């Protein structure tokens, strides 16, 4: 029987992970199978079912979180699955991989521990597969329109599934030999076992989506303009995988590689393409340059390959344990996080990260092989080396995980369709995901820049709705959770002014600070002034 006061009496408990050292012996997911079952109903019961659910607004997909929490607490799993699958095509991916901005925005998180929303989502998703509640949904009738989706990451897959279900004949063109984008060749299996991807692809095939691998659109044998002529609409979802580099002395040394080269080979080895990875960290001293997801995935992979030592360099200062003043609830704050890879390396006790570390060069052994990475402490604020702090970390493998600068420029799709890039290197599109070329749309990282899976799925769904409107004319039936310019909830600091003049309920009398919704981009929008929390869908 659900307890209306469970949020007061039941402590937050998360899904248990396997022993960190035991995890290094295999590449299986880090979570203990079935670990959620005994606790999940009580955890869902902690949801207060708020009148204004900030979690729902913080989720780019607009997942109906309080609805499914209540249903799970009551053991209504099939109905919970129906609610979840109404807004999220791939909850088995987000339930494992999403950083859960919804939990940062949970009302309980104001002064207690947030509801374990992501864990609950995952349990609903996994049970839906096991119980047969997540069945293929082929269209009732075909529209006769043909759509090409270029790229098979989460954005392309979500767009394709929505368009197929709406009755359009949809084909996904992927240049790689396997479908999945970064879900396949970026994220390692210890965070997402690939049979989960295969299962979803089998469902999509059963619904009627076509897949063509080894199809590099833009190449001479498959030019984008010809593809456009053969289809009624095209969705470009080619990701943003142009890797940033470090133009530093010694960069050409043998042993300095892009992180994505390393991760792709490790994933290919797991797929059976190589007996051992052609670029293995085994027995090597590894330095990973970068502080994000990609760097953490390199760390977990290098530990599994039995590296002799691994150090990770982060140019930023170590984040605080708690929210900083300029990142108030309900934004997703930058705080000190220990990922599963860091846990395996011994964090937080022995954290392999060196913070405020800037790389100044690579040293070689005289025969062109990497021998060390030269680093210095970064001056706070300007990231430049502080004089007198230079030192060398011995290394014979350096992995560059410095982020991405938009879609790869070698891709000739833009040139062939007459598309332009914006100031950040992403493909230009309007609010409705449409480019300047008639019937050509852009979804996912290719338009937004390197982001998150949840945003990619939301982009795919919304771009599919835009395509559906374009094809049928007028209104579409498909849901569009975001626009192309929607952004995550973010904080900003108002110029210090008397609160009365600002007129924003809840602004701190001490700092005059408030926050605004990234969706409208207004500094103090009218909704906020009216006390609606600036969180209505714009």
Ligand X SMILES: Cc1cc2nc3c(=O)[nH]c(=O)nc-3n(C[C@H](O)[C@H](O)[C@H](O)COP(=O)(O)OP(=O)(O)OC[C@H]3O[C@@H](n4cnc5c(N)ncnc54)[C@H](O)[C@@H]3O)c2cc1C
Which option in ligand SF4, ligand X, none does residue 117 bind, with CB closer than 5 to 8 A by kind? ligand SF4
CB-nearer residue toward ligand X: 154 or 372? 154
CB-nearer residue toward ligand SF4: 117 or 310? 117
Q: Least separation, in Å, of the C-beta of 121 and ligand SF4?
A: 5
Residues 447-486 that bind ligand X (CB under 6 A): 450-454, 456
Helix ranges restricted to H, 271-393: 293-304, 340-344
Q: Least separation, in Å, of the C-beta of 65 and ligand SF4?
A: 6
Residue 66 contacts residue 46 (beta carbons within 8 Å): no
CB-nearer residue toward ligand SF4: 116 or 277? 116
Asked if 118 is part of the footprint of ligand SF4 (rule: CB under 6 A), the reply reads yes
| Residues whose CB falls within 8 Å of the CB of residue 514, separated by 6 or more in sequence, listed in order | 494, 502, 504, 506, 507, 508, 524, 528
Beta strands in 382-528 (DSSP E): 391-394, 397-400, 440-442, 490-492, 514-516
The residues with which 353 forms a beta bridge, in sequence order, are: 312
Asked if 239 is part of the footprint of ligand X (rule: CB under 6 A), the reply reads yes
* 34: nearest Cα among 164, 156, 123: 123
Residues 91-110 that bind ligand SF4 (CB under 6 A): 94, 98, 100-102
* 514: nearest Cα among 333, 323, 328: 328
What the block records as the tokens of 463 is: 């771009």
CB-nearer residue toward ligand X: 319 or 512? 319
Helix ranges restricted to H, 208-275: 224-230, 259-270
Asked if 297 is part of the footprint of ligand X (rule: CB under 6 A), the reply reads yes
Asked if 454 is part of the footprint of ligand SF4 (rule: CB under 6 A), the reply reads yes
CB-nearer residue toward ligand X: 6 or 265? 265
Asked if 154 is part of the footprint of ligand X (rule: CB under 6 A), the reply reads yes
Q: How many residues bind ligand SF4 (CB under 6 A)?
A: 13
CB-nearer residue toward ligand SF4: 125 or 507? 125
Residues 69-98 that bind ligand X (CB under 6 A): 97-98
Give the binding range for ligand X (CB under 6 A) out of 53-61, 80-88, 237-245, 299-307: 237-245
Residues 119-178 that bind ligand SF4 (CB under 6 A): 121
Asked if 480 is part of the footprint of ligand SF4 (rule: CB under 6 A), the reply reads no
Cα 318 from Cα 333, distance rounded (Å): 13
Q: Least separation, in Å, of the C-beta of 455 and ligand X?
A: 7
* 477: nearest Cα among 233, 235, 163, 236: 163
Which option in ligand SF4, ligand X, none does residue 65 bind, with CB closer than 5 to 8 A by kind? ligand SF4
Beta strands in 445-516 (DSSP E): 490-492, 514-516
φ and ψ at residue 173, rounded to 5 degrees: -105, 120
Task: Tell the burial category of 100 from Cβ atoms under 10 Å away from its Cβ (0-12, 13-18, 19+).
Answer: buried
Q: Least separation, in Å, of the C-beta of 454 and ligand X?
A: 6
φ and ψ at residue 19, rounded to 5 degrees: -60, 130
CB-nearer residue toward ligand X: 176 or 502? 176
Cα 379 from Cα 387, distance rounded (Å): 9
E strand or H helix at 165, and its extent? helix 154-165
Asked if 59 is part of the footprint of ligand SF4 (rule: CB under 6 A), the reply reads yes
Asked if 267 is part of the footprint of ligand X (rule: CB under 6 A), the reply reads no
CB-nearer residue toward ligand X: 193 or 522? 193
Asked if 186 is part of the footprint of ligand X (rule: CB under 6 A), the reply reads yes
Asked if 47 is part of the footprint of ligand SF4 (rule: CB under 6 A), the reply reads no
* 167: nearest Cα among 147, 153, 152: 147
Asked if 176 is part of the footprint of ligand X (rule: CB under 6 A), the reply reads yes
Q: Least separation, in Å, of the C-beta of 207 and ligand X?
A: 19
Look at phi and psi of residue 151 and say left if phi exceeds 0, alpha if psi is from -120 to 50, else beta: left
CB-nearer residue toward ligand X: 236 or 517? 236
Give the torsion through C-alpha atoms of 416, 176, 203, 466, to 10 deg: -20
Cα 278 from Cα 264, distance rounded (Å): 11
* Sites of contact with ligand SF4 (CB under 6 A): 59, 61, 63, 65, 94, 98, 100-102, 117-118, 121, 454
* Sites of contact with ligand X (CB under 6 A): 97-98, 150-156, 173-176, 181-182, 186-187, 215-218, 237-239, 241, 263, 293-294, 297, 411, 413, 444-446, 450-454, 456
């Amino acid at each position: 029987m659900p307890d209306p006061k469970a949020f007061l009496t039941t402590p937050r408990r998360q899904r248990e992970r396997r022993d960190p050292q035991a995890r290094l012996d295999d590449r299986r997911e880090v979570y203990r199978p079935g670990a959620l079952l005994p606790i999940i109903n009580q955890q869902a019961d902690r949801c207060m079912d708020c009148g204004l659910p900030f979690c729902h607004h913080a989720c780019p997909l607009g997942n109906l979180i309080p609805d499914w929490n209540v249903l799970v607490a009551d053991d209504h799993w099939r109905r919970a699955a129906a609610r979840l699958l109404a807004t999220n095509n791939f909850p088995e991916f987000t339930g494992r991989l999403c950083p859960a901005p919804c939990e940062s925005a949970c009302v309980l998180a104001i002064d207690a521990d947030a509801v374990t929303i992501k864990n609950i989502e995952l349990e609903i998703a996994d049970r839906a597969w096991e119980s047969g509640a997540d069945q293929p949904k082929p269209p009732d009738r075909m529209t006769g329109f043909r759509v090409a989706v270029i790229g098979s990451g989460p954005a392309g897959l979500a767009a394709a599934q929505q368009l197929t279900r709406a009755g359009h004949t949809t084909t996904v063109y992927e240049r790689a030999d396997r479908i999945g984008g970064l879900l396949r060749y970026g994220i390692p299996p210890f965070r997402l076992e690939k049979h989960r991807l295969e299962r979803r692809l089998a469902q999509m095939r059963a619904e009627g989506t076509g897949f063509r691998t080894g199809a590099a659109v833009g190449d001479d044998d498959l030019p984008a303009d010809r593809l456009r002529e053969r289809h009624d609409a095209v969705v470009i979802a080619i990701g943003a995988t142009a890797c940033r580099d470090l133009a530093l002395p010694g960069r050409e040394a043998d042993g300095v590689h892009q992180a994505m080269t390393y991760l792709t080979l490790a994933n290919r080895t797991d797929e059976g393409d190589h007996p051992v990875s052609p670029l293995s960290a085994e027995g090597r001293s590894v330095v990973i340059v970068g502080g994000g997801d990609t760097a953490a995935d390199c760390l977990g992979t290098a530990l599994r390959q039995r590296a002799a030592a691994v150090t990770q360099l982060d140019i930023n200062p170590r984040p605080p344990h708690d929210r900083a003043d300029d990142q108030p609830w309900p934004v997703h704050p930058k705080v000190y996080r220990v990922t599963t890879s860091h846990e395996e390396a011994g964090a937080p006790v022995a954290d392999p990260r060196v913070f405020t570390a800037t790389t100044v060069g690579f040293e070689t052994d005289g025969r062109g092989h990497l021998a060390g990475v030269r680093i210095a402490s970064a001056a706070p604020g300007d990231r430049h080396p502080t004089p007198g702090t230079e030192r060398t970390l011995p290394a014979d493998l350096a992995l560059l995980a410095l982020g991405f600068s938009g879609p790869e420029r070698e891709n000739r799709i833009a040139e062939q369709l007459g598309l332009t890039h914006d100031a950040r290197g992403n493909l230009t599109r309007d609010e409705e995901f449409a480019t300047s070329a008639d019937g050509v749309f852009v979804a996912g990282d290719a338009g937004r820049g390197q982001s998150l899976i949840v945003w990619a799925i939301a982009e795919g769904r919304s771009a599919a709705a835009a395509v559906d409107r374009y094809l049928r004319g007028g209104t579409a039936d498909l849901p569009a959770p975001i626009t192309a310019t929607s952004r995550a909830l973010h904080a900003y600091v108002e110029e210090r002014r008397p609160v009365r003049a600002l007129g924003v309920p809840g602004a701190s009398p001490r700092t005059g600070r408030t926050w605004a919704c990234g969706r409208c981009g207004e500094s103090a929008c009218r909704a906020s002034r009216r006390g609606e929390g600036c969180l209505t869908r714009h």
